[in-house]
């Protein structure tokens, strides 16, 4: 099947989706996921979910992201429980178009970020176990459909430069080593296959290039992303 199915006028209903398809964009912090989503948001019949990071920065006035970077051991569990919830919300929202694209997934939240905090001994084992139990329950009991993972593969150095340039206040204390650790986990998970299972086929897009070149890349990979053979 292809994505050429056209909806009747009016609102979408699931019956109209002969081929609905869900894509997660994965990659390190500041790897360019938002730019990628913005590019595809211009396409007809694609629903792009806004990134929940604004929620993480303001939960009834609490900045969970800021707290986490200030004191990882104390606040990582707090942020990551809320990340897990907001990701679950996104995965289970009713579809409004035949193709859905979202930034990251409940999988990378757990396999990359929680795992990194735990391995670097900044998350107590008890916090890790509680998050793991929640995660296992969720993925065993809730249908989370992912059909394709697009991995924006970057060098940690390129992400570090972008992160410094964009000046998101909470992130200014993030050291290069943190991005190196996240990068390594992503590589082990999606490329080396030495870490956890992969929930969907992976399309790798090298993403160290500047914005213009990246937009060209997306143009070139348009077909492969939106209608991979299956």
Residues 6+ apart with CB under 8 A from 14: 20, 94, 95
- Subset of 55-74 contacting ligand DCP (CB under 6 A): 65, 68
Q: Which of 109, 149, 181, 185 binds ligand DCP (CB under 6 A)?
A: 109
Sign of CA dihedral 184, 53, 170, 68: negative
Instruction: Verify whether residue 51 is a known catalytic residue.
Output: no
* Beta-ladder partners of 46: 99
Q: Does residue 183 bind ligand DCP (CB under 6 A)?
A: no
Rule CB under 6 A: is residue 107 a binding residue for ligand DCP? no
Q: Which listed residue (32, 90, 156, 179) binds ligand DCP by CB under 6 A?
A: 32
Side-chain half-sphere exposure of 174, counting CA atoms within 13 A: 28
31 binds ligand DCP (CB under 6 A): yes
Among 16, 17, 19, 53, binds ligand DCP (CB under 6 A): 53
- Please pick, from the candidates 33, 91, 100, 183, the single residue that binds ligand DCP as defined by CB under 6 A: 33
Question: In terms of CB distance, is 53 or 176 closer to ligand DCP?
Answer: 53
User: Which residue(s) pair with 26 in the sheet?
Assistant: 151
Least separation, in Å, of the C-beta of 30 and ligand DCP?
4
Per CB under 6 A, does 29 bind ligand DCP?
A: yes
Query: H or E segment at 154?
Result: none
Q: For the chain, where are the alpha helices, taking DSSP H only?
A: 33-41, 53-57, 64-70, 72-92, 106-108, 115-119, 125-141, 156-166, 176-186, 211-226
**Could you tell me how many residues of this chain bind ligand DCP (CB under 6 A)?**
17
Q: Which is nearer to ligand DCP, 114 or 226 (CB)?
A: 114
**Of the residues 104, 115, 150, 185, which one makes contact with ligand DCP according to CB under 6 A:** 104
Task: For residue 208, state whether it binds ligand DCP (rule: CB under 6 A).
Answer: no
Q: Which two tokens stand for residue 143?
A: 């249908």
Burial tier of 90 (Cβ tally within 10 Å: 0-12, 13-18, 19+): buried
The catalytic residue among 9, 14, 89, 103 is 103
DSSP annotation of 200: S
Instruction: List residues near ligand DCP by CB under 6 A.
Output: 27, 29-34, 53, 65, 68, 79, 83, 103-104, 109, 113, 171
Active site positions, annotated: 103
């Amino acid at each position: 099947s292809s994505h050429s199915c056209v909806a009747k006028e009016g609102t979408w209903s699931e019956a109209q989706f002969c081929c609905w398809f869900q894509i997660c964009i994965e990659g390190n912090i500041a790897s360019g996921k938002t730019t990628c989503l913005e590019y595809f948001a211009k396409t007809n019949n694609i629903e792009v979910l806004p990134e929940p990071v604004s929620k993480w920065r303001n939960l009834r006035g609490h900045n969970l992201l800021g707290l986490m970077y200030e004191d990882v051991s104390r606040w990582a569990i707090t942020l990551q429980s809320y990340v897990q919830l907001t990701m679950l919300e996104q995965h289970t929202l009713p579809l409004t178009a035949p193709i859905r694209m979202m930034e990251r997934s409940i999988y990378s939240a757990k396999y990359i970020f929680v795992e990194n905090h735990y391995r670097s001994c900044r998350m107590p084992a008890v916090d890790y176990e509680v998050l793991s139990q929640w995660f296992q329950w969720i993925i065993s009991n809730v249908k989370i459909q992912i059909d394709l993972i697009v991995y924006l593969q970057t060098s940690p150095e390129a992400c570090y430069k972008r992160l410094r340039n964009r000046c998101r206040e909470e992130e200014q204390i993030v050291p290069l080593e943190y991005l190196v650790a996240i990068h390594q986990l992503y590589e082990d998970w999606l490329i080396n296959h030495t870490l956890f299972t992969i929930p969907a086929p992976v399309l790798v897009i090298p993403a160290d290039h500047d914005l213009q070149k990246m937009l060209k890349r997306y143009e070139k990979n348009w077909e492969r992303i939106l209608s991979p053979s299956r």
